[in-house]
A and B are shown apart, each in its own frame.
Chain A
Amino acid sequence: MRVIASIAGWVDHRLQLAAPIRDAVEHPVPRNTASWWYVFGSAALVIFCLQLATGILLAMVYVPSADEAWHSLQALNHQVVLGWFVRALHGWGSNFMVAIVLIHMAQVFLFGAYKYPRELTWIVGVFLLLTTLGMAFTGQIMRFDQDAYWGLGIGASIASRVPLAGPTIVKLMLGGPIIAGATLSRFFTLHVFVVPGALILLVCLHVLMVLKLGINEWPMPGRLVRRATYERDYHELTQIDGAPFVPYAVWKDLFFAAFMLLAVASCAWWFGPFGPSGQPDPTIIQTVPKPDYFFLWLYALLSLLPPSLETPALIIGPVVAIAALLLLPFLSGEGEKSWKRRPIAVLTVMLTAMTLATFTHLAGDAPWSPHMNAWSGDPVPAHLLRDTTALQRQGALVFQVKQCRNCHSLGDTGAERGPRLDRVAVRLTQDQLIRQVIQGGGNMPAYGKNLSPAETTALVAFLGTLHPPGQTPAREAARDIVLGSGADPHASATK
C-alpha cells in the first residue's frame, strides 16, 4: 500500500493533477440538485464512452470501401465471435444517445438552466446536439446497405436545392460525381475522426463549464435570475445548503448510467444489430429506402409538406431552428427559472415532443407511400365480388391490373396514398368517376391514355358497386330527368 502511495505521490509531483481533480469532485453543489432529474447529462456522457469503445472495436473489422463495407458487416454479424453483439451495442447505443441527449436538453430548458451565467454551456450543448445528430446520420451511412445508399441520394437531392451553391455542395458531399467509394470514405472520415473529435472537444468544454459555473440549482417559483446578484446568491446557496458532489449527488448518476448501459446491452442482446439490409447496388431498384428512427420525422415532413413549401422549409427551416436555439439564452437570459411559471416553455416542449412523436409514428406506416406490389399481391375482398355482373368483375380486374390498388385500399388492404374506395360510389356519381379516372386530378394521375373505352366502362361499373349495403350510390338528378330513373348504371349495380 505504501509503495502504491509513494508511486502515486511521485507521479503527482510531476503531473500536479490530484489537487484540481479533488477540488472538482468535491466541489459543493446545492443539495436539491441531487435529484433523479439531474442524471441525463452524465448518462449521455457514459453512453458516448460506450460508443467510442464499441466504435474502436468495430473499426478493427470494418472496411470503409464501397466494394467491401457491406461484406465486412456480414463478417461482423456472422463470422467474428460476438461481432453481432458489438454492432448491436453500437447501434442501440446511438439510439439511446440521441434519445438521452434530447431528454437532457428538454430538462435543461424546463429548469431554466440555460439562463445567466450558463448561456455558453447551452450554446455548446446545442452544438453537441448537432454533432450527435451528425454522428447518427453518418453512422447510418457506415451501415453501407441499400438504405444508406439511397439515403445519401436523398441527402444529395436536398443539398442540391440550395440556391447557387447546390451543385458544389453535392460534389463536396459525394467526393465525386456519384455515390461511390469516395463518398463512403469521406463519411467514414467524418464519422470516426472529424465529428467525434469535435464531440470530444465540445464535451470537455461543456463539462468544464458545468464545473466552473456550478450545477443549476433546483428552480424555485418566484426566485428570479438577475445578473447583478445571481452568482453571489448561488455561492451562498452552496455554502448554506450545499454538499460535496462526490459522494452526495454522484451516486444517482452512477446508478442511472449503469441502468442505461444495462438497457443498451439488453436491447442489443434481445433485438440484435441493425441490418445491413440489401447490398448497395444501384441497379437493384426494388427497394423502399427508409431512414433510421431519429430521422423518420423528417421523412414524414417531406411527404406531407406542400411541394411549393418544401425547398424553403428544407433550406430555411434548419437555419431558423438552430438560430432560435442559439439565441434562446440571450432572449431570456434572466428571470423565472421554474417551469411552474413558464407555461410557454412547457407548451413548447410538449408541442415539439408531440409533433416529433406524431411524425415518427406516421412514418412507421408511411400512408403517403404507394404499395408497389399491392396490385399483384393483395386480393380483391370476396364480399365485393359477390352477386356482381361479368362487366363489374371485369372492372375489378382492370382495377388490379392498372395498379389502382397501389394507391387505393379495398377492404383493409392496399395502400393509403389515395382515398379508400370501399364507399366511393356514395361520394361520386358515374360521370364524376369517369372524369376522375380519365383526367385524374387532386393528386391522381390521369388514366385517359392508358384505358380503352371498354376498360373505363368496366372499371366504373365496378367502382359503382362500392357502397355500403344500406346506402344508395350517388346519382345525377339531371340524368334521371332526361333518361328516366333506372338509367343510372349505379342503380343496376345496387346490391
Chain B
Amino acid sequence: MSNEPVLSRRGLFMKLGILFNGVVATTLGVPIVRFLLSSVTLSRQNAYISWVPLGHVSEFPAGETRLATFRNPFVTPTDGKTADSACWVRRIEGEQFQVFAVNCAHLGCPVRWFPQSGLFMCPCHGGAYYRDGSRASGPPERGLFEYPIKVADGVVTIRAGELPTPAANAALDRERPPCA
C-alpha cells in the first residue's frame, strides 16, 4: 500500500474519544444548566408567590396609609432578616384597600409616606407618588407597584413573594382583575 489511509486506526479512536467526551459533557451539562436555572424554573412554576396575611382589617384605620411587614413566603435557612419585607397599606374605606410595594418604580429605593402632604417620596432620585400610588413627579415612568389583595375573615392578604421590579410586576398586573 503506497497511499496513507485517510483515517488511521489511532486517528479514528481519537475522534471517537472526542465524540465520547462530547456526549458525556452534554449529558452532564443538562443537570448543571438546570441547577443554574433553578430560580428561573421555580419562578415560572409560580413556586415563589403565594397569599400572605398582613394583619386584621382593624389594624389599618380607614383613610390612612400604614407600613406593614411580612415574611416572604419562600425562605431559605440563611436568609435571616432579608426574608422580611415591608409594604404600604392604604385603607380607603371599609374593605377597600390598596397595598403598595415600598420599592420605587424607578430603581427600587424604599419610598416613604408623608401623610401631611399625601405623598410617597423616594430618597434616591426624587420620585414622588400620590396617595393612590399614581405617579406625581420625578423619574419614575409609572405609579407604585401594587400587590393583588384579598380580604377574607377580616384579614388583609396580599399575593406576594417576588422582588417588585417592572418585570416581576408585569406578571402580577396580569393576575389582577381589571376592576381592582
Contacts and interface: CB of A to CB of B under 8 A. Distances in A.
**Is chain B found bound to chain A in the same assembly?**
yes
Interface of A: 65-68, 149-150, 153-154, 156-158, 160-161, 166-168, 170-172, 174-182, 184-185, 279-283, 285-289, 299, 302-303, 305, 307-308, 310, 368-370, 372, 375, 401-404, 406-407, 417, 440, 443-447, 449-450
Given A368-B125, A370-B123, A181 B118 contact: no
B167 A176 contact: no
Given A67-B79, A175-B39, A181-B82, A156 B165 contact: yes
Contacts of A288: 123-124
Q: Which 8 pairs across A and B sit closest by C-beta, in order of nearness?
A: A67-B80, A181-B78, A445-B136, A177-B48, A160-B167, A285-B110, A153-B108, A160-B165
B138 interface: yes
B114 interface: yes
Nearest to B136: A445
A158 B49 CA distance: 22
A67 B78 contact: yes
Contacts of B125: 302-303, 368-369
Contacts of B49: 177
Given A370-B126, A447-B117, A179 B109 contact: no
Contacts of B139: 302-303, 305, 307, 310
Interface residues of B, number: 61
5 contacts: A172-B36, A179-B82, A181-B77, A303-B124, A449-B130
B66 interface: no
Interface string B35-77: 0110110110000110000000000000000010100101111
Nearest to B47: A177
B59 to A, nearest CB: 16
A178 B163 contact: yes
B86 A446 contact: no
Contacts of B75: 180
Contacts of B168: 160, 167, 170
Contacts of A174: 39, 163
A177 B124 contact: no
A310 B37 CA distance: 29
Nearest to A404: B117
B12 to A, nearest CB: 34
Given A154-B107, A170-B167, A450-B117, A445 B69 contact: no
Given A156-B108, A167-B43, A368 B126 contact: yes
Contact of A280 (B43, B81, B107, B161): B81
A285 B112 contact: yes
A303 B60 CA distance: 34
